[in-house]
């Protein structure tokens, strides 16, 4: 092989096998004529065995939050290069669509999954075989009913996107509630409040935590994600509709009590869209990764320019701005492998006139923290 040919082969090999350069992504879910007109609401986890589980809402007649829909999952055992068949984890029930997948990878390898039906009922299921099969769902709406003494909600939802197990074993799920003044079938998602629910017995029972307090000017908090910081505190990253247009932040020592009044993270633009945040270690250093459409510099702030940010000081500052998807971009979720590969499952439109598809893109911590 000539020197020129060898260099060309090396470049080709690098582009194919280096996830940092694999920016075109792999389509995981897409509309299917006669079956799903749109696929939305990504959730992504990496199991203890190294399997990627990608969840989505398969919306049937439209992309609407109120469309009929099934809760779907696909498995990849090779880092997202290929995917197994679509499984329906929870079928729609009549006119009660199934949405908001919120999975947790347990310390013992169990995959815990919460979801909602019709924004009125909450369910829990689990898999003990790496996502191949799922236990019969358990209705846990009573856990949400316990909030009604504080907030008379008409709409409930967990997550969406991955959630966490704390170091002490507690399963923790951020939830949001809306006290809509609209009647069925299209109840509004505002005004709203947020809280957490939790399980201290590996999913057998679920309890409510404290509600995150109101704060002046902090408007309609909803889709929220949690991370546990190195000092043990839990931090919430909160979607909100405040005029400040910055992501909301709240802290608790245990994830269920004494939440601080929400403040704003000046480094994280809020396009009024669900975002993903995850805590990870790389080369013995602690990092937070944050992903959302950073359209602050684009007129009217469309859901576009999905950008990954990195913090090495527990969210005080964000030192990296890595664009993951320049075009139309919506909800997203993150998972990080022990080898430092960062997996991003994101909503996009493969063509501007299409409905939503979910695409997986990959980067590496090595490349991100090099900036």
Q: What is the pLDDT of residues 241-276, one digit of tens each?
A: 999 999 999 999 999 999 999 999 999 999 999 999
**For 137, which DSSP code?**
P
As a 3-state breakdown, the chain gives helix, strand, coil percent values, each rounded to 5, of 10, 45, 45
> What's the structural domain count of the chain?
1
17 within domain boundaries: no
Phi and psi (nearest 5°) for 368? -65, -45
Query: Is the CB of residue 61 less than 8 Å from the CB of residue 37?
Result: yes
pLDDT in tens, 162-204: 999 999 999 999 999 999 877 776 788 999 999 999 999 999 9
Question: Is 60 exceeded by the pLDDT of residue 115?
Answer: yes
Tokens of 311: 């913090």
Q: What pLDDT shows up at residue 92?
A: 86
The CATH number of residue 247's host domain is 2.120.10.10
Phi and psi (nearest 5°) for 44? -140, 135
Query: Quick one: pLDDT band at residue 13, thresholds 50, 70, 90?
Result: very low
12 within domain boundaries: no
Tokens of 15: 């582009």
Concatenating the DSSP letter of every residue in 171-223 gives EEEEEEEE---SPTTS----SEEEEEEEESSTTS--EEEEEPPP-TT------
Query: Is the CB of residue 322 less than 8 Å from the CB of residue 308?
Result: yes
Highest averaged pLDDT of the listed ranges 32-41, 42-51, 347-356: 42-51
19 within domain boundaries: no
CA distance 136 to 149: 30
CA distance 197 to 257: 11
Query: Does the CA dihedral 354-303-45-206 come out positive or negative?
Result: negative
pLDDT in tens, 262-321: 999 999 999 999 999 999 999 999 999 999 999 999 999 999 999 999 999 999 999 999
Ordered alpha helix ranges (H), the chain? 3-17, 141-145, 365-368
CA distance 371 to 369: 5
Q: Is 144 helix (H, G, I), strand (E, B) or coil?
A: helix
Instruction: Mention every residue, 6+ apart, whose C-beta is less than 8 A from residue 227.
Output: 164, 234, 235, 237, 277, 278, 279, 288
Percent of residues, the chain, with pLDDT higher than 90: 83
Percent of residues, the chain, with pLDDT higher than 70: 93
Question: Is 90 exceeded by the pLDDT of residue 96?
Answer: no
Burial of 17 (0-12, 13-18, 19+ CB in 10 A): exposed
14 within domain boundaries: no
Element spanning 125, H or E: strand 121-127
7 within domain boundaries: no
Domain that holds residue 280: 27-368
Q: What is the mean pLDDT of residues 363-367?
A: 96
Q: What pLDDT shows up at residue 185?
A: 67
Q: What pLDDT shows up at residue 14?
A: 35
Instruction: Mention every residue, 6+ apart, whose C-beta is less than 8 A from residue 270.
Output: 239, 240, 242, 244, 245, 246, 247, 248
Query: Is the CB of residue 211 less than 8 Å from the CB of residue 221?
Result: no
76 within domain boundaries: yes
**For 313, which DSSP code?**
S
Question: Is 70 exceeded by the pLDDT of residue 7?
Answer: no
8 within domain boundaries: no
Query: Quick one: pLDDT band at residue 371, thresholds 50, 70, 90?
Result: low
Q: What pLDDT shows up at residue 21?
A: 36
Burial track 21-33 (b if 16+ CB lie within 10 A, e otherwise): ebeebbebbbbee
Strand partners, 188: none
Which of 22-26, 74-78, 194-198, 233-237 is predicted least confidently?
A: 22-26
Phi and psi (nearest 5°) for 22? -85, 65
Element spanning 230, H or E: none
Instruction: Mention every residue, 6+ apart, whose C-beta is less than 8 A from residue 94.
Output: none
């Amino acid at each position: 092989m000539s020197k020129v040919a060898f260099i060309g082969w090396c470049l080709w090999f690098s582009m194919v096998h280096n996830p940092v350069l694999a920016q075109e992504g792999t389509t995981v879910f897409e509309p299917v004529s006669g079956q799903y007109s749109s696929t939305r609401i990504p959730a992504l986890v990496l199991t203890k065995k190294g399997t990627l589980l990608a969840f989505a809402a398969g919306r049937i007649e439209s992309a609407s939050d109120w469309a009929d829909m099934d809760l779907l999952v696909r498995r990849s055992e090779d880092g997202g290069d290929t995917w197994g068949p679509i499984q329906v984890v929870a079928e729609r029930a009549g006119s009660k669509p199934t949405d908001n997948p919120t999975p947790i990878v347990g310390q013992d390898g169990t995959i815990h999954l919460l979801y909602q039906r019709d924004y009125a009922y909450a369910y829990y299921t689990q898999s003990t075989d790496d996502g191949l099969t799922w236990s019969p769902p358990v209705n846990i709406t009573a856990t949400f009913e316990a909030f009604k003494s504080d907030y008379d909600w008409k709409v409930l939802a967990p997550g969406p996107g991955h959630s966490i197990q704390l170091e002490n074993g507690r399963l923790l799920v951020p939830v949001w509630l809306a006290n809509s003044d609209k009647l069925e079938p299209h109840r509004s998602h505002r005004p709203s409040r947020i809280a957490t629910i939790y399980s201290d017995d590996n999913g057998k029972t679920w309890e409510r935590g404290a509600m995150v307090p109101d704060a002046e000017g902090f408007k309609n908090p909803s889709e929220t994600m949690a991370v546990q910081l190195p000092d043990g505190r839990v931090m919430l990253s909160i979607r909100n509709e405040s005029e400040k247009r910055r992501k909301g932040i709240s802290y608790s020592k245990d994830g269920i009590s004494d939440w601080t009044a929400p403040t704003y993270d000046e480094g994280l633009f809020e396009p009024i869209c669900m975002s993903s945040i995850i805590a990870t270690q790389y080369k013995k250093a602690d990092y937070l990764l944050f992903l959302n459409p950073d359209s602050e510099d684009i007129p009217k702030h469309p859901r576009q320019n999905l950008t990954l940010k990195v913090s090495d000081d527990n969210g005080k500052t964000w030192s990296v701005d890595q664009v993951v998807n320049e075009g139309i971009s919506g909800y997203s979720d993150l998972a990080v492998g022990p080898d430092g590969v960062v997996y991003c499952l994101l909503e996009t439109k493969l063509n501007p006139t299409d409905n939503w598809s979910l695409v997986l893109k990959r980067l590496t911590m090595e490349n991100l923290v090099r900036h």
